């Protein structure tokens, strides 16, 4: 294998300064032409003088580290060639199970589907493409509550843009959000208005991706919410909004309950809205309460199916995550676990399955999702060995994700047709009494930002428009 050029941290920092327009006094000097004229000695002197500021160059001028532990450090992904070679070796050595005894996916990911994906992963897939894509973005690390937090931070060219923190879920990662970065930071290029621009912060949850793996208990959605509040303050944002889907929804809900003065509002696409009497009926197997409207009955039927047949993966991770140790040893096993999501050809996994197979499954289109997108995400889990550390979030969680969130600050909700259930407006308005936006989208599912990035971005622009400061 041809060796890749060694990483030059000076070059990387200069690129980051260029990307974020850098320090004002160096804007002209740090052009490509100016850089080519710099001697190594001049460059190193310049970087030594501006390194701390350069690490902050994409944050507001108000950012200040109050202690060494508050430092925001530039970060670059560099997976060793040996790690990728070992991945291919393990894929080639996979010991396969017997073929399923049914002609559908009711026993899980079909053997042929997984074998086809693993063959492509082993022979044709290129991790370096997404690694380069991630490294072209401003990535950082900062320690919060004793744990390193990895995050992407892209500021819009419009300095008056509204800061937004977006939280991914499981089995996702920051890779879910890559396609919404430009539509949100540069909306005019995507059919939106300059006034709808966002400064974007996309963190990796603890135990996921390149964020630290908790070595002690306690990192539940509430603690993550507190960490995100700390992160936004550390970045100097005095006003911002938050968004989340899957686990990002309870994290955003918890931020809303904490209601820091800087947080203007939240948007979620898996809202906590189910009335307690409905949850009780679902858990006991009782019929629904009388008097439900048509959309409430539809939601009840969807939830009943989910509770009965599609929660096994969550129950295992919520009770015995460490037992899944095979996911750290077998990339094929990891792929099957992350693909299935408890339902295969239904939701929320259908769009992912459609992307892997290259055809629409059970009426659920892959949208913008591709097979490489799916493998980008699975490979990130593999190279960071985060299958178990991410699964522990289910064990840590003490919040019923279905019960009403009771968020008092302004909240917005988008209901996607391919979500595991369609939240009725009646339930949503009771769970989010300050509901400023509610919309039923015409396409997209559980991984909405991944599946329909343009539509998802348009939803966020519309949802948060009432919270922007008039100009």
Please give the average per-residue pLDDT across 280-290, as a whole number: 93
191, 228, 232, 364, 398 from 146: Cα distances, Å: 42, 14, 17, 42, 22
Cα distance between residue 70 and residue 47, in whole Å: 20
**pTM of the full predicted structure?**
0.86
Q: Flag whether pLDDT at 55 surpasses 70.
A: no
Read off the pLDDT of residues 423-471 as tens digits, 9 standing for 90 and up.
999 999 999 999 999 999 999 999 999 999 999 999 999 999 999 976 4
φ and ψ at residue 270, rounded to 5 degrees: -140, 75
Cα distance between residue 431 and residue 400, in whole Å: 13
Q: Flag whether pLDDT at 387 surpasses 70.
A: yes
Read off the pLDDT of residues 358-371 as tens digits, 9 standing for 90 and up.
999 888 889 999 99
The full set of domains in the chain, from first to last, is 9-57 (no CATH), 129-273+400-467 (3.40.50.1820), 280-396 (no CATH)
Of 159, 194, 164, the C-alpha closest to 181 is: 164
Cα distance between residue 294 and residue 292, in whole Å: 7
pLDDT: which is higher, 178 or 48: 178
pLDDT: which is higher, 334 or 7: 334
Q: Flag whether pLDDT at 43 surpasses 90.
A: no
Cα distance between residue 399 and residue 254, in whole Å: 10
121 sits in which H/E element: helix 111-123
Please give the average per-residue pLDDT across 326-344, as a whole number: 89
Of 441, 388, 435, 438, the C-alpha closest to 419 is: 441
197, 354, 356, 362 from 111: Cα distances, Å: 45, 16, 13, 19
Please write down the HEC assignment for all residues of 249-296. Answer: HHHHHHHHHHCCCCEEEEEECCCCCCCHHHHHHHHHCCCCCCCCCHHH
CB 215 within 8 A of CB 240: no
In the structure encoding, which two tokens stand for residue 400, read together?
Answer: 């019923």
CB 174 within 8 A of CB 168: yes
Cα distance between residue 185 and residue 183, in whole Å: 6
- Predicted pLDDT at 68: 63
- Predicted pLDDT at 312: 86
Scored b (16 or more CB within 10 A) or e, 302-320 reads bbbebeeebeebbebbbee
């Amino acid at each position: 294998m041809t060796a890749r050029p060694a990483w030059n941290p000076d070059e990387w920092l200069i690129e980051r300064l260029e990307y974020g327009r850098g320090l004002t006094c160096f804007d002209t000097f740090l052009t490509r032409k100016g850089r080519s004229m710099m001697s190594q000695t001049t460059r190193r002197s310049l970087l030594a003088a501006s390194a701390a500021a350069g690490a902050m160059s994409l944050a507001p001028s108000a950012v200040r580290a109050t202690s060494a532990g508050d430092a925001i450090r530039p970060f670059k992904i560099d997976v060793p060639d040996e790690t990728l070679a070992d991945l291919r070796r393990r894929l080639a050595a996979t010991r396969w199970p017997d073929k399923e005894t049914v002609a559908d996916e009711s026993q899980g990911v079909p053997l042929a589907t997984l074998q086809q994906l693993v063959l492509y992963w082993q022979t044709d897939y290129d991790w370096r493409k997404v690694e380069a894509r991630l490294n072209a973005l401003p990535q950082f690390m900062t320690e919060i509550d004793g744990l390193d937090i990895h995050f992407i931070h892209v500021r819009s060219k419009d300095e008056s843009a509204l800061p937004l923190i977006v939280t991914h879920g499981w089995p996702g990662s920051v890779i879910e959000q890559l396609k919404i970065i430009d539509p949100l930071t540069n909306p005019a290029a995507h059919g939106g208005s300059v006034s709808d621009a966002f400064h974007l912060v996309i963190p990796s949850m603890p135990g996921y991706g390149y964020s630290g793996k908790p070595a002690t208990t306690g990192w539940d959605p509430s603690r993550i919410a507190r960490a995100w509040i700390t992160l936004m303050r550390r970045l100097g944002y005095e006003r911002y909004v938050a968004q989340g889907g899957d686990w990002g929804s309870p994290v955003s809900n918890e931020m809303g309950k904490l209601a820091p003065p800087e947080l203007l509002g939240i948007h979620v696409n898996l809202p906590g809205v189910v009335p307690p009497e409905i949850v009780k009926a679902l858990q006991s197997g009782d019929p629904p309460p009388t008097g439900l409207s048509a959309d409430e009955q539809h939601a009840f039927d969807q939830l009943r199916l989910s509770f009965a047949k599609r929660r096994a993966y969550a129950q295992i991770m919520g009770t015995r995550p460490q037992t899944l140790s095979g996911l750290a040893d077998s990339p094929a096993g990891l792929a099957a676990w992350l693909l299935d999501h408890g339902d295969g050809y239904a939701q929320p996994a259908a769009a992912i399955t459609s992307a892997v197979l290259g055809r629409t499954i059970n009426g659920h289109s892959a949208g913008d999702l591709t097979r490489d997108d799916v493998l980008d995400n699975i490979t990130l889990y593999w190279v960071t060995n985060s299958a178990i550390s991410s699964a522990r979030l289910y064990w840590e969680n003490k919040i019923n994700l279905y019960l009403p969130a009771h968020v008092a600050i302004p909240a917005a909700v988008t209901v996607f047709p391919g979500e595991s259930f369609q939240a009725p407006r009646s339930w949503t308005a009771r769970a989010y009494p300050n509901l400023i936006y509610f919309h039923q989208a015409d396409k997209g599912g559980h991984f909405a930002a991944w599946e329909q990035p343009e539509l998802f971005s348009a939803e966020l622009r519309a949802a948060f428009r009432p919270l922007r400061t008039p100009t």
